[in-house]
Amino acid sequence: MALATLAGGCFWCLEAVFQQLKGVSKVSSGYAGGKRPNPTYEQVCTGATGHAEVVQIEFDPAVISYRDLLDVFFTIHDPTTLNQQGADTGTQYRSAIFFQSPEQQRDANEAVADAQKTWDDPIVTEIVPLAQFYPAEEYHKDYYLRNPNQGYCRVVIAPKVAKARQRFFEKLKA
């Protein structure tokens, strides 16, 4: 198994999509990229910790590649908006790829270059080494699965899930 750590706005959105992919065994919401150890959601929301909301994806590279995960990532969020995804604003909602090996760094750079061909504005996704991943509080786990009719889930998350399901149908779990 391998790990990928990605930030692309609200972690609930990313979790909801990546949980559906073949080869993904676990998706954990959390925080990365900041200076404060063991941050809480309330602290991260202030923007003062430097952390981004992230998902850490445990996956089987024999079933789905890191590049495939990055292709999904660039499909379900806007990598051209600095510190913002839709109405969610602040550094905690930035677009970032936290690499864990030279190979992941190379793949991330290639994925950004490929994704740039589909975007008119420059991609602002950070590509940085993962120093530490801090799991989010338990109530964030499986948020979309537990709350599909909640307003944010219907208006923000469901369209991203639908887009991913349409574009990556062959990569979905049965």
Beta bridge partners of 8: 95
Residues known to be catalytic: 10
Among residues 13, 9, 31, 7, the alpha carbon closest in space to that of 126 is found at 7
Residue 75 burial (CB < 10 Å; 0-12/13-18/19+)?
Answer: middle
Query: In Å, what is the CA distance from 107 to each residue of 31, 68, 119, 171?
Result: 22, 10, 19, 19
Measured at the alpha carbon of residue 157, what is the angle toward residues 140 and 25, in degrees to the nearest 5? 60
The first and second tokens of residue 3, run together, are 């790990």
